[in-house]
A and B are shown apart, each in its own frame.
Chain A
Amino acid sequence: MRTILKLGKQEHRFIDRISELSGENVYSCYQCGRCSAGCPMAFEMDILPNQLIRLVQLGEEEALIASKTLFICASCFTCQSRCPKGINIANVAEAIRYLAEPKGKDHFGPDEVPAELADELP
């Protein structure tokens, strides 16, 4: 894997857009990893929550949109409640999903819910 790091206008626009949509200051993450350490769904994720934030910091829009993690995050806010910088990753994930939607990357649509579950699911 190789990233050619380039923080140009486009990348900054992306980072700022994510910050604006999510209301979180993604610049402030210092990569302690606490979010990932406590995330109940981390074991299913292809990139960990801290890596998700990291990729935002690197302006890696495409890698983010391609990641499964976006749709595995259960919005449980465990990360938010323990993050030393108060970052709410669920909000950030939601912001990325929002940007991904027009690109047709919704992971699991309502019509895919099995009928027998649909009845019971709250």
Chain B
Amino acid sequence: MKLHYYPGCTLKEKTTNLDESTYAAMKMLGYELVEPENWTCCGAEFPLNEEKIVGLAAPARILRQVEMEGGDKVVTACAFCFNVLKQTHIALLNDPLKQKRINAYLKDDIRIDPVTKERTTDFPEYRGDVQVLHLLEFIQKEIGYEKVRSLIRRDLGNLRAAPYYGCRLLRPKGETGIDEPDDPSIFEEFLESIGIGVVDFPFKQECCGSYLSVSLPDAASEVSYRILRSAKLNGADMVVLSCPLCYYNLDRRQDRIREKFLEFTGMPVLFFTQILAWALGVEAEILGLDQHFFDPRPVLGITDKAEVAS
């Protein structure tokens, strides 16, 4: 089955492991992912300000492209992109005036084909009909946990994973979130369906430090550490998440966390699609597990290349 998938720039450049594992997992689940043609960056941050409404044009263009290609929904694996696209979708849906203003930009689009140098103009407006789904939601609503369960090939029953939502899957509270901001369960349900043990920990919805790892690295480390520590205290073998920024702060920056908090010994951090693909029997090489700061392979039982397929 074909399905529109918006990867976002980070997944193509930096966290290719999230992108590749998404492709691999979805293939196992019977989906062929289709990226909207000529997709651009979503802007990475939803404009929080009425004056910066132009910022909606980029994500709206992506949705329009999906619409042009006849799609009625688009999934993302990145929590950040999901959040921007979903907020854009809702903002345009609820505010006809905004939709009009943005469409004024979209109509003036010009595209020049890099090869033929052909100019395309006269683009249609975005009608607002594209449903934005995070992959976790797509699995819950459209694939169904039963189906996932039936396709599991590796037994992860002896492992315990802490689902980390972070901010962008749940907040701002309201239509944008995929679950209750302070009592979510969709990630847990997902993990249960792939047969891994689930750890409930109170920091699952806390912020990872976001971009403050640039401006206030120490503060960000502290915030990240609290999350990892809480997961560990509650018996997690790994943290599972869906946001590249959270991944950056929680995994890639574990060096800094260790410097600051000497008692911290490290914690594997995986994208949910990696653990899904692994459970579905995808080979380890495809999953980009070697890109992680804290190598998750030992905890998954991957020693060298000797994979245990069941």
> Residues on A close to B: CB < 8 A?
20-23, 40-41, 43-44, 71-72, 74-78, 80-82, 88, 90-91, 94-95, 98, 107-108, 113-114, 117, 119-122
Q: Is B49 an interface residue (CB 8 A)?
A: yes
How far in angstroms is the closest Cβ of chain A from B171? Answer: 4
**A21 and B50 form a contact (CB under 8 A):** yes
Closest to B49 in A: A94
**A95 and B167 form a contact (CB under 8 A):** no
**A74 and B212 form a contact (CB under 8 A):** yes
Pick out which of these stretches binds chain A: B104-112, B119-127, B141-149, B202-210.
Answer: B202-210
Which residues from chain A contact B15 at a C-beta distance below 8 Å? 122
**A77 and B215 form a contact (CB under 8 A):** no
**A120 and B252 form a contact (CB under 8 A):** yes
Among A23, A43, A77, A119, the most chain B Cβ lie within 10 Å of the Cβ of A77
Please measure, in the bound complex, the distance between the C-alpha atom of A121 and the C-alpha atom of B217, giving whole angstroms. 13
26 A-B Cβ contacts within 8 A? A22-B50, A23-B50, A40-B207, A40-B223, A41-B207, A43-B222, A44-B216, A74-B167, A74-B212, A76-B167, A77-B167, A78-B167, A78-B171, A78-B205, A78-B206, A78-B207, A80-B171, A80-B173, A81-B173, A88-B172, A95-B48, A98-B49, A108-B215, A113-B214, A117-B213, A122-B44
Q: Which of B51, B182, B206, B216 is in CB contact (< 8 Å) with A72?
A: B216
**A108 and B248 form a contact (CB under 8 A):** no
Please measure, in the bound complex, the distance between the C-alpha atom of A41 and the C-alpha atom of B222, giving whole angstroms. 10
**B49 and A76 form a contact (CB under 8 A):** no
**B170 and A108 form a contact (CB under 8 A):** no
Interface size on B (CB < 8 Å)? 37
Chain B window 202-246, contacts with chain A (Cβ cutoff 8 Å), 1 for yes, 0 for no: 000111011111111001001100000000000000000000110
Which residues from chain A contact B211 at a C-beta distance below 8 Å? 74, 121
Contact (A122, B245) CB under 8 Å given A40-B223, A74-B210, A78-B207: yes
The 8 closest A-B pairs by CB, nearest first: A76-B207, A77-B171, A94-B48, A81-B173, A74-B210, A81-B181, A122-B244, A122-B10
Which residues from chain A contact B209 at a C-beta distance below 8 Å? 40-41, 74
**A121 and B248 form a contact (CB under 8 A):** yes
Please measure, in the bound complex, the distance between the C-alpha atom of A107 and the C-alpha atom of B216, giving whole angstroms. 11
Closest to B176 in A: A77
**A80 and B172 form a contact (CB under 8 A):** yes
**B212 and A41 form a contact (CB under 8 A):** yes
Q: Which of A76, A98, A117 is in CB contact (< 8 Å) with B214?
A: A117
Q: Which of B10, B52, B214, B244 is in CB contact (< 8 Å) with A108?
A: B214
**A107 and B171 form a contact (CB under 8 A):** no
Which residues from chain A contact B206 at a C-beta distance below 8 Å? 40, 78
Q: Which of B151-203 contact A (CB under 8 A)?
A: 167, 170-173, 181-182
Please measure, in the bound complex, the distance between the C-alpha atom of A88 and the C-alpha atom of B48, giving whole angstroms. 10
Which residues from chain B contact A113 at a C-beta distance below 8 Å? 214
Contact (A91, B49) CB under 8 Å given A72-B212, A108-B215, A122-B244: yes
Contact (A77, B172) CB under 8 Å given A22-B49, A121-B214: yes
Please measure, in the bound complex, the distance between the C-alpha atom of A35 and the C-alpha atom of B220, giving whole angstroms. 19
Closest to A20 in B: B50
Given A74-B209, A81-B172, 4 further pairs, Cβ under 8 A:
A74-B207, A81-B171, A81-B173, A117-B214
